[in-house]
């Protein structure tokens, strides 16, 4: 099953993506993680992307598409994939559809995770991330046992530049302007499934898995 996870930054997509991946055994393909790995390794692509990400701007399609096409052809995507962070524009959605058609695949469903902007601001501004193992914390909802230190590996936590209030505002503005139109794009194709994550990720995950089970059963001969 090939899925897309839509939603503004801070809506809880990472938690939901992990739950979906573990439940149905498909690859979680996060474009954010791909870019961060390239930035950390100092690759040419990473150096170019870092300037956009640090200012809360969207990475140009030409950088994203090239990386993603290579990623989707790896072995772990053969049983399906969950795209997280792509597409972000109509142009990217068209490019993705063309690529998948060319390799005999398609998107089965688009999961749209929704949350109020004020809640997103609160969640993201309190987020801290471990640069070593990738563990994520929230100073209000899930703080580390020792302030500023990762529970898992003991590395000092980071307050990422794109989680600072001024950058969050820019990211949300970019999302509403460029990415929200994808809701209409995929709704018109009968693929959009919307979920209000104000109820909490556990409840939202169960709703998603129930819908995917029904969708999978309907697609089987």
**Does the annotation count 160 as an active-site position?**
yes
Q: Among 21, 36, 88, 123, which one carries the catalytic annotation?
A: 88
Q: Among 36, 71, 128, 171, which one carries the catalytic annotation?
A: 171
**Helices 165-174, 117-125: crossing angle, 10 deg rounding:** 140
Q: Among 21, 36, 127, 128, which one carries the catalytic annotation?
A: 127
**Does the annotation count 171 as an active-site position?**
yes
In this structure, what DSSP letter does residue 101 have?
A: H
Facing residues of 76 across strands? Answer: none
In angstroms, the CA 32 to CA 45 distance is 13
**Does the annotation count 142 as an active-site position?**
no
Q: Among 114, 160, 164, 178, which one carries the catalytic annotation?
A: 160
Q: Among 13, 36, 123, 128, which one carries the catalytic annotation?
A: 13
**Does the annotation count 13 as an active-site position?**
yes
Dihedral in degrees, nearest 10, Cα atoms 189, 35, 141, 179 = -30
In angstroms, the CA 46 to CA 59 distance is 11
Beta-sheet pairing, 109-114 with 192-196 = parallel
Active site residues: 13, 88, 127, 160, 171
């Amino acid at each position: 099953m090939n899925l897309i996870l839509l939603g503004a930054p801070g809506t809880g997509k990472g938690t939901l993506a992990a739950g979906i991946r573990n439940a149905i055994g498909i690859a979680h393909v996060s474009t954010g993680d791909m870019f961060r790995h390239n930035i950390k390794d100092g690759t040419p692509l990473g150096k170019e992307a870092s300037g956009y990400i640090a200012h809360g701007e969207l990475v140009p399609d030409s950088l994203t598409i090239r990386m993603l096409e290579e990623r989707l052809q790896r072995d772990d995507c053969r049983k399906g994939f969950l795209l997280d962070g792509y597409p972000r524009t109509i142009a990217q959605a068209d490019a993705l559809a063309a690529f998948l058609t060319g390799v005999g695949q398609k998107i089965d469903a688009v999961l749209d995770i929704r949350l109020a902007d004020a809640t997103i601001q609160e969640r993201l501004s309190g987020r801290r991330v471990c640069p070593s193992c990738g563990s994520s914390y929230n100073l209000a909802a899930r703080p580390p046992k020792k302030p500023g230190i990762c529970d898992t590996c003991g590395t000092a936590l980071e307050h990422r530049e794109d989680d600072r209030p001024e950058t969050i505002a820019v990211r949300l503005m970019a999302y509403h302007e460029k990415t929200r139109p994808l809701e209409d794009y995929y709704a018109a194709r009968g693929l959009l499934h919307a979920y209000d994550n104000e109820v909490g990720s556990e409840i939202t995950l169960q709703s998603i898995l129930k819908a995917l089970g029904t969708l999978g059963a309907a697609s089987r001969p």
